[in-house]
Amino acid sequence: MQQVDRIKKKIFSLNRDMLLFISALAASAFSESVFNSIFNNFLDSTFSLNSFYRTFLELPRESGGLLIILVSALLFFIPSRRMAAISLLLGAIGLVCMAFFSVTFHWMFVWLFIFSLGQHLFMPINTSISMELAKEGETGKRLGQFNAIRNFSIIAGSFFIFLGFKYFHFNFKISFCIAAFVYLCAACFLYFMHPGSAQPRSSHMKLHKEYRLYYWLAILFGTRKQIFLTFAPWVLVTEFHQPTAVLATLLTIAGISGIIFQPMLGKAIDIYGEKKVLAMEAFLLIFICFGYGFSKTLFPGNQAFIVACICFVADQLLMSVNMARSTYLKKIVVKKEHITPTLTMAVSLDHIFSISIALAGGVLWAKWGYQTVFLAGAIIALVNLISAFFITTPATVKCDVVAVTGK
């Protein structure tokens, strides 16, 4: 009872912007979870895609990440939190159109691009706002807490889909519409926050030599991320023949684990530093890629499936180590107005390479089997491990982003 009272007191002590941002974060994560839980099965059921066309579909899905640097530069005059609201509105529009107007594969291609553009616009702004709302010296802790909230919502979203498809006769159209509505709610929460500040035009579309290692780490993250986002669910659907409910269950397990893991990871970043955390992530990824890619070769039947599931969940957890790259940028940034544009540039850079790796992975899968895709992932993880040892940060944070409260 005392614990519940303490939690209530802590919640009511939060300022208005913090409460609104937490609500927006939770709602957007719920919608993303709904989408991620059904998308691969939607493609398989509606369009019966082979592995090549599934890979080709990453062009519209990831091209939004390529274009956000241009869109952000064109809309530089819009304050950051307003821009975040617009990005989620775009995502909602894309989902509604996908539900009702995916009459052909080519039209679905268009709606997926609109959804993707909104989703990717939100990514760097989300991280930037999260760091703005962190106390000095506790950026990792705050990012870990926010990621734990996201994971709780991911659990809710995937469990919602599990129940909906199993007991309430959900279909893909209903699921897309629900995700779109919750996205709209998240956009409203962001709109009612203090608008924040717009970034100077001069800070956009620039590569700064001071951040070259950060850019490189972002590129490596993009390639490693794309292998699992694109091919890991597709392996479960096509190689292990698993239905929507299984993917939703695995995301639920990852979400439950993440509620504990994320805050611990955030504290570890603050205590041990980005170098050790990123090196450990890369080291573990080498084994995860081997396990996922070769489980059917190394283990019989059900054991192979269990190994693949463990690797799937472990990778979902390690995705959150990306927060260490963000805190690394915050520590080395020369001017605080560089943070959001640099995060945006990093997203665009990682998508240039992630789209390439998706297309290359499709070719590898088609010619030599999906195992070669994850072998390539293990090589990328090794390069990531070597790169992490080059990280150096100042003893003290050069630039801290102060929370914008409007007071």
Q: 322-344, pLDDT tens digit by residue? A: 999 999 999 998 888 888 889 98
Domains of the chain: 15-197+211-388 (1.20.1250.20)
Residue 123 CA to residue 344 CA, distance in Å, equals 8
Per-residue buried b or exposed e for 388-399, using 16+ beta carbons within 10 Å of the residue's own CB: beebeeeeebeb
How far is 398 from 319, CA to CA, in rounded Å? 26
> Which pTM was predicted?
0.80
C-alpha 405/C-alpha 407 separation (Å) is 5
Task: Give the confidence band of 404 by pLDDT, cuts at 50, 70, 90.
Answer: very low
| DSSP type of residue 231 | I
How many CB atoms lie under 10 A from the CB of residue 276?
A: 16
List, for residues 361-382, the tens digit of each pLDDT value: 888 888 888 889 899 999 999 9
- For residue 346, which of 175, 159, 225, 217 has the smallest C-alpha distance? 217
pLDDT in tens, 20-69: 999 999 999 999 989 988 888 888 888 877 666 666 776 777 777 778 88
Alpha helices in 227-338 (DSSP H): 232-238, 244-272, 274-298, 301-318, 322-332
**Measuring CA to CA, which residue among 185, 159, 158 is closest to residue 28?**
185
Query: What percent of the chain has a predicted confidence (pLDDT) above 90?
Result: 41
How far is 22 from 18, CA to CA, in rounded Å?
Answer: 6
Q: At 163, list the tokens.
A: 């129940």
Q: How many degrees, rounded to 5, is the angle at CA 361 between CA 359 and CA 367?
A: 110
Distance CA 125, CA 85 (A): 10
Q: Which residue in 242, 173, 194, 176 sits closest to 35, CA to CA?
A: 176
Rounded Cα–Cα distance for residues 113 and 62 (Å): 8
Give CA–CA dist 26/383, Å, rounded. Answer: 34
CB atoms within 10 A of CB 49: 17
**Digit-coded pLDDT (tens) for 290-318:** 888 888 888 887 888 899 899 999 998 99
The candidate with the shortest Cα–Cα distance to 267, out of 277, 275, 258, 257, is 277
